[in-house]
Amino acid sequence: MCTSSRTTILVLCLSWALFSLPAYAIDLNGGWASDASVCNKIFVKRNSRLSIASDADTYGSGVIFEGNKIRGKIATCEIKTRKEEAGVLHMIGVCSDDVALSTVQFSVKIENENKITRIYPGVPELSVSYVRCP
């Protein structure tokens, strides 16, 4: 086999290998709200850091993703593991609130880059959709 044929085969094999690797979840960083029209009421900036407003639950639900952290109104979680399967991102986090520390499993269906749905396997009626806030 000639060198150019070997090179071509090698490039094709590497390309196939690289593009067949699993694509991990979209970048979830930022604020996500249950209703895009109330993003400015659910989130506030404090010292150039995004926070959840004290009266946010009056307008809807919100969550902030920051790397391996998820912040809600009453708890902050550090994601320890994550796995994506068929468009669903499964995460296990250690969460703390004012009272306790607990391990929580989160499952998020990725609808598109600006919409996710928190799902509860086996209890679909509890699902909550979130949209990315600007």
Q: What is the 3-state secondary structure (H, E, C) of 29-83?
A: CEEEECCHHHHHHHEEEECCEEEECCCHHHCCCEEEEECCEEECCCCEEEEEEEE
**Mean pLDDT in residue range 41-57:** 93
Q: How far apart are CA 133 and CA 27, in angstroms?
A: 13
DSSP state of 97: -
**Mean pLDDT in residue range 86-99:** 93
**pLDDT range class, residue 81, cuts 50, 70, 90:** very high
**Per-residue pLDDT at 14 exceeds 60:** no
Tokens of 11: 């490039």
- Domains (range + CATH), the chain: 24-132 (2.40.128)
pTM of the full predicted structure?
0.76
5-19, 26-40, 84-98, 103-117, range with the lowest pLDDT: 5-19
pLDDT at position 5: 42
The answer to whether 92 and 105 are in contact (CB under 8 A) is yes
**pLDDT range class, residue 121, cuts 50, 70, 90:** confident
Tokens of 113: 């880059």
